Amino acid sequence: MPQATPDPRSETVHHIPLAEIDGGALTRDRSGLDQDALNELRASIAASGLRMPIEIFPLTEPKVQASGPPQRYGLLSGFRRLYAYQAQFEQTGQPRYATNPAFLRTRGTMAEALAAVVEENEIRAAISPWERGRIVWLAHRQEVFGTIEEAVAKLYPAANKFKRSRLRSLAHLVEELDGLLTNPESLSQQRLLRIDAAFRAGFDNVIRTALAESSLDGPATQWQILLPILTEAERPPSDTPKRPDRPRRVYRPR
């Protein structure tokens, strides 16, 4: 029989199979996992269970895995709790750890919960410029907000117009280059905005091709690949062709 979908209208704690939860659906925690704190959390879970359920949301489309059932839910908050529960299940194999207590959030409640996650990240100051843009982009992609502009306004209500403009630029850049950059979290905001400016100047196809077809994929070498393209994009208008693809920059013979 097909598994029943939890009712998103209630605050009922649902027990969701670990294999069905995508822990990286929205954003990963970059602050790292303190092993001592993780061991304490696992000991607490073993003694009295999970005191605070994680928060999840239904994915628009289930994520197919190489093995195991499709992942039907994305993690909204509770990365460490989910990780500790997974570690506890892997170590003990006990069936009671095979499912994780969770609150199911709808798109409406997700907006409030995601704003709280962003606020917590800003207080901790453990989030990179790329991740700020990625949170905005994913919130829009998951249809929590209708546009990137709305996502920036709701997730960063205290930001001034300059910061909001930078966040919009970062979100658009994530949309364009997600999966092509190696460790983009290591790039400074200045470098990311330079790449975004080159995209807007019409060098998007050149940048994508340079990254996709290079055998060098380390963060430092990728930046060296991009640097001459960015330098060209930043030249005064009189020194650059009207269109960066004339003369043709990307050509693949048949």
Q: Say whether both 96 and 184 belong to one domain.
A: no
Separation between Cα atoms, residue 118 and residue 80, nearest integer Å? 16
User: Is residue 158 assigned to a domain?
Assistant: no
Where is the domain boundary, 60, 75, 105? 105
Q: Say whether both 11 and 100 belong to one domain.
A: yes
Average pLDDT score over the chain: 81
User: Is residue 195 assigned to a domain?
Assistant: yes
Where is the domain boundary, 80, 105, 130? 105
Q: Say whether both 101 and 186 belong to one domain.
A: no
CATH of residue 67's domain is 3.90.1530.10
Q: What is the pLDDT of residues 63-99, one digit of tens each?
A: 888 888 899 998 887 888 888 888 888 888 898 889 9
User: Is residue 207 assigned to a domain?
Assistant: yes
| Residues whose CB is less than 8 angstroms from the CB of residue 112 and which lie 6 or more positions away in sequence, other chains included | none
Q: What angle do CA 162, 222, 151 make, to 5 degrees?
A: 30
Residues spanned by the domain of 202: 179-249
Q: What angle do CA 250, 141, 165 make, to 5 degrees?
A: 75
User: Is residue 124 assigned to a domain?
Assistant: no
Q: Of the spans 24-28, 54-58, 248-252, which averages the highest pLDDT?
A: 54-58
| Residues whose CB is less than 8 angstroms from the CB of residue 10 and which lie 6 or more positions away in sequence, other chains included | none
Task: Give me the number of domains the chain comprises.
Answer: 2
Q: What is the pLDDT of residue 8?
A: 43
Where is the domain boundary, 105, 130, 156? 105
pTM of the model: 0.62
Answer for the pair 163, 118: CB distance below 8 angstroms, yes or no. no
